[in-house]
């Protein structure tokens, strides 16, 4: 399917911002990640004891490295070739340039766990989410961590927004379009794509007392 204008701009922004993003993640510059959300997704993944897992939209690969270190065989995929090159340069894990719409036919094999850490940014997710069910081994799970819909201060209505990476420092020349979903829409999306919500976690930010993210676990 051809990319629409938002999708093209989204893909382009990651290509332009890849170096800035890699530095930001590796230097631990995002407080909510450092204090809450990194630990939350690693702990949720480890609690499921996967042998083989796929990190979808893996970026520069930090989550693959973290889970490889605890003995999980990790595969990371991302649409951005520069970020995949950064991930490969760090060694651990197997990485491939692949968009989430193309994963089902990519020949990567089957997984016990699919992970998406702040990587589902597109409007059209139902078909990819449906197709990912074929990537799972029996008993496999999907874990999605995303921006908590109540904590963004956004108008509470689905729609495209623009992230300007203010406060991230240099290295972010292009704003990123991303699709905001209410909680109701996230839950409907999973159900419509044939997933059953098994668990929902709202990790709290220790300083603000507000949810730093929304973690959805589905079967």
> For binding to ligand SAM (CB under 6 A), which residues are involved?
10, 14, 25, 57-59, 62-63, 78-80, 83, 99-100, 117-119, 121-122
CB of 138 to ligand SAM, least distance (A): 26
Q: Which is nearer to ligand SAM, 63 or 218 (CB)?
A: 63
CB of 123 to ligand SAM, least distance (A): 11
CB of 194 to ligand SAM, least distance (A): 20
Q: And the tokens for 65?
A: 């490295």
CB of 107 to ligand SAM, least distance (A): 17
Residue nearest to ligand SAM (CB): 59
Q: Which is nearer to ligand SAM, 37 or 195 (CB)?
A: 37
Q: Which is nearer to ligand SAM, 30 or 136 (CB)?
A: 30
Q: Which is nearer to ligand SAM, 143 or 190 (CB)?
A: 143
- 155: exposed, middle or buried (Cβ count in 10 Å: 0-12, 13-18, 19+): exposed
φ, ψ (nearest 5 deg) of residue 43: -65, -40
**Using a CB cutoff of 8 Å and minimum separation of 24, what contacts does 178-181 make?**
178/10, 178/121, 179/6, 179/121, 179/122, 179/123, 180/147, 180/149, 180/152, 180/154, 181/146, 181/149
The answer to whether 103 and 56 are in contact (CB under 8 A) is yes
φ, ψ (nearest 5 deg) of residue 77: -130, 145
Q: Which is nearer to ligand SAM, 100 or 180 (CB)?
A: 100
CB of 198 to ligand SAM, least distance (A): 21
Residue among 97, 193, 189 at smallest CA distance from 146? 189
With DSSP H G I counted as helix, E B as strand and the rest as coil, what are the percentages for the chain, rounded to 5? 35, 25, 40
Q: Which is nearer to ligand SAM, 118 or 168 (CB)?
A: 118
């Amino acid at each position: 399917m051809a990319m629409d204008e938002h999708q093209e701009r989204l893909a382009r922004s990651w290509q332009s911002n890849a170096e800035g993003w890699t530095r930001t993640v590796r230097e631990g510059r995002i407080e909510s990640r450092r204090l809450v959300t990194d630990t939350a997704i690693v702990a949720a993944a480890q609690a499921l004891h996967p042998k083989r897992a796929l990190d979808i939209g893996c970026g520069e690969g930090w989550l693959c490295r973290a889970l490889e270190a605890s003995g999980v065989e990790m595969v990371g995929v991302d649409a951005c070739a520069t970020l995949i090159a950064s991930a490969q340069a760090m060694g651990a894990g197997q990485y491939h340039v692949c968009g989430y719409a193309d994963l089902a036919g990519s020949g990567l094999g089957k997984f016990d766990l699919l992970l998406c850490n702040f990587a589902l940014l597109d409007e059209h997710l139902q078909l990819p989410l449906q197709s990912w069910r074929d990537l799972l081994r029996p008993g496999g799970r999907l874990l999605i961590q995303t921006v908590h819909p109540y904590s963004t201060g956004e108008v509470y209505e689905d729609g495209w927004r623009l992230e300007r990476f203010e406060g991230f420092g240099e290295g972010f020349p292009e704003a990123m379009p991303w699709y905001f979903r209410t909680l109701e829409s996230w839950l409907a999306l999973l159900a419509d794509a044939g997933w059953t919500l098994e668990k929902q976690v709202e990790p709290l930010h220790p300083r603000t007392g507000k949810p730093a993210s929304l973690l959805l676990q589905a079967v």
